[in-house]
């Protein structure tokens, strides 16, 4: 692993490239900056960010004096996520990587959040809504010695692995800044912030442009796909609104109707993602959606206000089919309504269990290759850098050295598409770069909850040794298993992920009554070929059995007929069950009586 991140090198390239007012960029962004420079203090902003891929909204301080010296402290809300923010310190020598990712418990785009950082000679600490998120200390903090201007901007980076892919149809995008406050650093005499070491100096509520305090920028740089223009820094209803637009429709105006970003099929549903937030009444009118040969039962707008889930019946998976949205309205102050839009349905390619990912590496042993997550993939990473150590490097405590020799670091996280249910996750680590405890520390979040706190792999197992952390009974309700990393000291990293089904869970038991009948979990489970299922009746009843795949499609049906009360046993033999080969994966078996049913999950390994 290199000592500086890819983004650090990219940022250096930005600064070394000359600033320019004239460019051929297709987009127009905005930047607002103080005239005065500040050294040390607490800096706060109340911000509601956009949620659109390919751009970011920021709040930061920056030394503009040149002299080949770089001093910068960042809060960057990467708009491809609405559940993660990024913090960074950029220092003169760029020694080490100081980017830190922080998972958010509430969306960044649906309401305002207060982002703050404290800069002192000893540390830089970031806060979200008053809660300490990250604190950095060490030699690099001592190099932050230059007075810096307070800045905010919105812009589209050219690096898609970092910011995502900008869809021009998603523009305009707006970042809403409610206010900015500055507190001077007054150790021992203050009344605010950590240790009451800060004193309020000023707050700007952004009722209008204070030309004595602030400038609107008019420049760009290499790596920024937009030019900053003054017209895109707008004051409206007590907010500073920084706008990202095309070249024609600049300022705080929206004349672009919503389009379909993509539509993805799953068992009995279709997920439609629009390019912007849409009107709820129109979005939930199922008559506006059409798929040939498929019945649209209902439509529900999701929390992000741009995703609609369609409940459908009659959809064959896989198949080639299109979704037509007859019209859709956005949430602009003067709403825009689209005409009919068509999108080809993306079909799922379900993974088989166990799901094993070689993070940072290629397909090896029985592990999948590391890939970037997208609308067409079943799993993948967000951001980060991959590295592979020599195959001669021996990793103790494992016979899968090749997996631990690879790693991805400085990533936001991973996402894996799985059926709703409960899972066990193993995370594989091996510290191969640092030589002492405390050199790398991070948290791990799974499905939005803190799963591992203050993980220091070296402190636990030493260098070049396998470290496995298992988190069990993870409940997935949105068909996506999310893993995120929060960097505390240097960059989080990971070598492998193993996801297995928690076979003790029971799904869809709403209609089951223990007074009627009881079905046991099959054994063995997972299994190959044959597995045994015990069930019991408290009274004679007519019993049927069904086997379904993860997409909800019926694989096999059997009528037991009228069975007497007592204990019963059924041996399920999947070899030749349907006349076709059944692939490894999750299946569901359902017992139904005249009035009740019970569903359980089994895992087939072929």
Integer CA distances (angstroms), 295 to 314, 342, 555, in order: 6, 17, 22
Integer CA distances (angstroms), 43 to 127, 379, 473, 596, in order: 10, 38, 41, 61
Residue showing tokens 């070899």: 575
Residue showing tokens 């069975």: 563
Q: Which of 76, 400, 431, 447 is catalytic?
A: 76
Per DSSP, the chain holds a count of helices (H) and strands (E) of: 6, 44
Q: Which of 31, 44, 53, 72 is catalytic?
A: 72
431 is catalytic: no
How far apart are the C-alpha atoms of 151 and 496, rounded to whole Å?
39
Q: Are strands 379-382 and 385-388 parallel, antiparallel or unpaired?
A: unpaired
What is the DSSP annotation of 168-214? GGG--EEEEEEEEEEEEE-TTT--BSGGG-EEEEEEE--SS--TTTE
72 is catalytic: yes
Among 541, 588, 539, residue whose Cα is nearest residue 560: 541
Provide the b/e sequence for 18-35 (b: ≥16 CB within 10 Å). Answer: eeeeeeebebbbbbbbbe
What are the φ/ψ torsions at residue 8 (nearest 5 degrees)? -60, -45
How far apart are the C-alpha atoms of 50 and 242, rounded to whole Å?
10
**Cα distance between the two ends of the chain:** 37
What helix, strand, coil percent values describe the chain, rounded to 5?
A: 5, 50, 45
Q: Supply angle C-alpha 125, 127, 132, rounded to 5.
A: 75
Q: Count of CB atoms within 10 A of residue 581's CB?
A: 10
Residue 460 is encoded by which pair of tokens?
């636990």
Q: What is the DSSP letter of 551?
A: T
Q: Which stretch of DSSP H or E encloses residue 147? A: none
Where are the extended beta strands (E) located within 267-318?
269-274, 289-291, 295-301, 307-313
Q: Is 471 exposed, middle or buried (0-12, 13-18, 19+ CB in 10 A)?
A: middle
Q: Which stretch of DSSP H or E encloses residue 74? A: strand 72-78
Residue 7 is encoded by which pair of tokens?
């983004």
Integer CA distances (angstroms), 331 to 334, 335, 339, in order: 8, 6, 16
Q: What is the 3-state secondary structure (H, E, C) of 349-391?
A: CCCCCCEEEECCCCCECCEEECCECCCCCCEEEECCEEEECCC
Q: Give catalytic residues, as residue numbers.
A: 72, 76
């Amino acid at each position: 692993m290199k000592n500086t991140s890819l983004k650090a090198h990219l940022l250096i390239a930005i600064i070394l490239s000359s600033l320019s007012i004239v460019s051929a960029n297709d987009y127009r962004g905005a930047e607002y900056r103080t005239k005065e420079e500040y050294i040390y203090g607490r800096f706060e902003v109340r911000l509601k960010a956009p949620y659109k891929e390919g751009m970011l909204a920021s709040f930061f301080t920056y030394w503009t004096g040149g002299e080949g010296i770089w001093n910068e402290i960042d809060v960057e809300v990467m708009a491809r996520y609405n559940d993660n923010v990024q913090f960074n310190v950029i220092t003169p020598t760029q020694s080490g990587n100081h980017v830190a990712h922080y998972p958010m418990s509430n969306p960044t785009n649906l309401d305002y959040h207060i982002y703050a950082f404290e800069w002192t000679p000893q540390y830089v600490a970031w806060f979200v809504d008053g809660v300490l998120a990250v604190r950095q200390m060490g030699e690099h903090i001592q190099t932050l010695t230059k007075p810096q201007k307070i800045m905010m901007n919105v812009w589209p980076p050219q690096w898609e692995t970092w910011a995502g892919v900008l869809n021009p149809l998603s523009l305009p995008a707006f970042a809403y800044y409610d206010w900015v406050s500055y507190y001077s650093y007054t150790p021992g005499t203050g009344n605010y912030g950590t240790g009451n070491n800060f004193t309020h100096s000023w707050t700007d509520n952004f009722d209008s442009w204070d030309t004595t305090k602030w400038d609107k920028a008019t420049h760009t740089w290499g790596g920024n796909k937009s030019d900053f223009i003054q017209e895109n820094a707008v004051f409206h209803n007590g907010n500073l609104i920084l706008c990202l637009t095309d070249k024609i429709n600049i300022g705080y105006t929206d004349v672009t109707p919503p389009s379909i970003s993509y539509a993805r099929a799953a068992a009995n549903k279709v997920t439609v993602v629009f390019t912007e937030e849409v009107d709820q009444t129109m979005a939930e009118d199922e008559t506006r959606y059409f798929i040939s040969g498929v019945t649209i039962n209902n439509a529900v707008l999701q929390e992000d206000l741009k995703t609609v889930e369609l409940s459908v019946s009659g959809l064959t998976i896989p198949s080639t089919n299109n979704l037509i949205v007859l019209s859709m309205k956005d949430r602009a102050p003067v709403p825009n309504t689209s005409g009919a839009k068509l999108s080809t349905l993306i079909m799922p390619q379900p993974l088989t269990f166990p799901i094993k990912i070689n993070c940072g590496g290629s397909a090896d042993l029985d592990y999948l290759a590391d890939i970037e997550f997208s609308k067409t993939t079943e799993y993948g990473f967000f951001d980060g850098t991959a590295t592979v150590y020599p195959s001669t490097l021996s990793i103790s405590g494992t016979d899968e050295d090749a997996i631990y020799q690879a790693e991805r670091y400085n990533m936001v996280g991973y996402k894996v598409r799985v059926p709703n249910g409960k899972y066990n996750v193993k995370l594989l680590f091996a510290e191969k770069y640092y030589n002492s405890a405390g050199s790398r520390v991070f948290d791990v979040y799974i499905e939005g909850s803190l799963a591992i706190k203050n993980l220091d792999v070296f402190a636990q197992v030493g260098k070049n040794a396998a470290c496995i952390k298992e988190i069990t009974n993870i409940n997935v309700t949105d068909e996506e298993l999310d893993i995120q990393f929060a960097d505390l000291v240097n960059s989080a990293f990971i070598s492998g992920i193993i996801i297995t089904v928690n076979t003790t869970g029971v799904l869809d038991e709403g209609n089951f009554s223990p007074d009627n009948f009881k079905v046991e979990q099959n054994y063995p489970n997972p299994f190959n070929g044959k597995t045994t299922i015990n069930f019991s009746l408290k009274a004679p009843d007519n019993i049927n059995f069904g086997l379904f795949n993860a997409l909800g499609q019926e694989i096999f049906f059997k009528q037991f007929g009228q069975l007497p009360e007592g204990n019963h046993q059924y041996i399920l033999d999947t070899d030749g069950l349907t006349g076709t080969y059944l692939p490894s994966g999750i299946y569901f078996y359902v017992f139904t009586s005249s009035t009740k049913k019970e569903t359980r999950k089994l895992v087939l390994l072929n």
